[in-house]
Amino acid sequence: FNALSEGPFGPDVSVDPESLSSLLRAATVGELCVGLAHDFKNLLSVVSCGIDGCLQEIDNRREIPESSKQLLLQYLHGMRRASNTAKSLCDNVQSVGLRKTYRTREYVREIVEVSTALFQNALKYDGILENKSATLQNNADPWHNAAMVAPEVQLCILNILINAVQHGGRNPIEITINSKADSNNVFLEIANNGKPVPEEIRDSLLEEPLSSHCNQGYGLFISAMNLREMGGDLGFTSNEEQTVFTLKLPKA
């Protein structure tokens, strides 16, 4: 997403249309694997503590026959080695996923322009969005800048735009992007005039892996997790008039 050249009409974005959906799904699965590795490592830490406690307790129990004690110790040491190996594998998965988490200073409007260019490609070539259309207005302030992992913010914006077209119930759907800032953060607001987010999924939409479509999922959940890891956040409001997703990004 960062391999861009500046043309006379803004960023020149070249994306293989046939692989766009696969790219998004692969990125989502990769981020999910990093999160699962983190959670699994925490569980393994609990297991390791339990094993260490058992080793100490067995070693202090004089009533256990020596032959049985040695057999138990052998099993427990084997379990601890397996647990440490699994934790090492989790560390490797996390290290691969975290290599790209260095934040850089980026102008928010330029990030939006990249995402909207990818979005226009998706409308043209992604079969899931066939016969869908949108009118999009980018009013983001050109001077607003924030510290971010640019590809993750671009992917978050793209997810929001695609969801609006896919589930908004209007064709074309109207999308407006604005930005504002306070002393600490930049707020990027992406509004659409489509159907409101269903009540039954509002509480879980950004908090757990969830999909209302058979071959989509995890996108907004992963985006929210990524923004929080870089010091920002993702939230939304939704009613009959409009749905607004707000990205909070820390100022550079």
> What are the DSSP calls for 207-244, one per residue?
TS---SSTT--SHHHHHHHHHHHTT-EEEEEE-SS-EE
> Residues 148-161: what's their mean pLDDT?
89
Residue 180 pLDDT exceeds 90: yes
Q: Which of 198, 173, 178, 196 is nearest to 242 (CA)?
A: 196
- What is the average pLDDT across 89-112? 74
Phi-psi region of 114 (alpha: psi -120 to 50; beta: other; left: phi over 0): alpha
Tell me how far apart the alpha carbons of residues 222 and 231 are, in angstroms, rounded to a whole number. 14
> Is a pLDDT exceeding 70 seen at residue 28?
no
Spell out the SS3 assignment of 21-41: HHHHHHHHHHHHHHHHHHHHH
pLDDT at 60: 80
- What proportion of the chain, given as a percentage, has pLDDT over 70? 77
In contact, 32 and 209? CB cutoff 8 Å: yes
* Closest to 221 in 3D by CA, of 204, 197, 237: 204
Tokens of 155: 């992917």
Cα–Cα distances (Å) from 208 to 24, 35, 168, 222, in that order, read 18, 12, 21, 9
pLDDT score for 195:
92
3-state secondary structure of 87: helix
d(CA 128, CA 117): 17
* pLDDT exceeds 80 at position 99: no
Instruction: Specify the pLDDT at position 248.
Output: 96
